[in-house]
Amino acid sequence: MSVKPPKDINIVPFVNVDNMMKLVLDVGIETFLTELAVYIEEDFKRWELFDKAARVASHSAEGVIELMPTSDGEVYGFKYVNGHPKNTRDGLQTVTGFGVLSSVDNGYPVLFSEMTILTALRTAATSAVAAKYLAPKGADCMAIIGNGAQSEFQAMAFKAILGIEKLRLFDIDADATDKCIRNLQGKGFDITCCDTAEAAVEGAQIITTVTADKQYATILTDNMVGSGIHINAVGGDCPGKTELHKDILLRSDIFVEYPPQTRIEGEIQQLADDYPVIELWRVIAGEQTGRNGERQTTLFDSVGFATEDFSALRYVRSKLAGTNFYDSLDMLADPDDPRDLFGMVLRAADAA
């Protein structure tokens, strides 16, 4: 049974975890990722319309809690998200989140949504959008180093958008790789399980690093990366957390989302503040060149930016009409007289 979106401005559609899963499966995972990528690409092309600021972060020894706001002048959006690598030891998610879209015209929310699953989808879709412009032409093999919660989403996005068919997987936790292989069975991949990161990158034209430890790490050393490779560095996304040896950065063309944020959180925190990087939106908009030759080594230093969450929420909202994949939340007070909020509270006693 389908339902119509609430007409009452005070009733807000809410997509909970169960409904998000049902929506993704109803649309189809590959179709969802492909359509979401279109929204992300569209919003990168209109980058200059958006309010932009590095996310507001509260760091602790155990992780980080962040708010990621933006607006295109008509709609305002934000995401609450955490990153706590230790959580897996307690049976908890490393990353959780929720998001909100609101009308700039009156400030009223128009969507609440879970964003734990949606963040995984938008991260993978953004990686694939970047690779569309940066990866070697005809690439069909990707190494994924770090086979945790994000790995399958990355694989599916690269298959749907770039046609990746071969995967080479490695994780220091063999159970994580087994999980990834199990989840991707029957999805059209030729999968090789590797014993080391060095083995995983052999023959791969694209290398995705998506590890979770909050530390300066060297997942890829310089001798592991040949010329002509595209690196999709996803795991390094906060101060003090990196995955690549500095020498790889120094011989790569580096593409980023929002430099003021990436210089704090990304791989380029290892470099000088004025080290030249290329903003991804300029490549997508046709202002600058992405891949320019077979021997070029490209690096997408991905940390995630608020416009991508905005795109994801905008896409989800577009898919809700005519479905029952949301609940209607009575979130906003609606007194008969907008000036009489106190009287509304008192009248609740009469109704009880």
Which amino acids are annotated catalytic?
A: 237
- Residue ranges of alpha helices (H) inside 8-115 are 17-27, 29-45
51 neighbors 306 (Cβ within 8 angstroms)? no
Nearest to 115 by CA among 10, 16, 37, 244: 16
CA dist 220 → 167, 211, 347 (Å): 17, 11, 64
314 neighbors 79 (Cβ within 8 angstroms)? no
Q: Where are the beta strands (DSSP E) in 118-252?
A: 141-145, 166-170, 190-193, 206-209, 216-220, 230-233, 242-244
Give the Cα-Cα-Cα angle 115, 99, 4 (nearest 5 degrees).
Answer: 95
Q: Where are the beta strands (DSSP E) in the chain?
A: 11-15, 56-59, 64-71, 75-83, 97-103, 109-114, 141-145, 166-170, 190-193, 206-209, 216-220, 230-233, 242-244, 253-256, 278-279, 298-301, 327-330
111 neighbors 12 (Cβ within 8 angstroms)? yes
Distance, CA of 288 to CA of 278 (rounded, Å): 8
- Measured in whole angstroms, the distance separating CA 42 from the mean position of its chain's CA atoms is 16
Place of tokens 């000088």: 272
225 neighbors 297 (Cβ within 8 angstroms)? yes
DSSP state of 79: E
Tell me the CB-side half-sphere exposure of residue 271, using CA atoms within 13 A. 21
160 neighbors 30 (Cβ within 8 angstroms)? yes
Nearest to 123 by CA among 23, 183, 36: 36
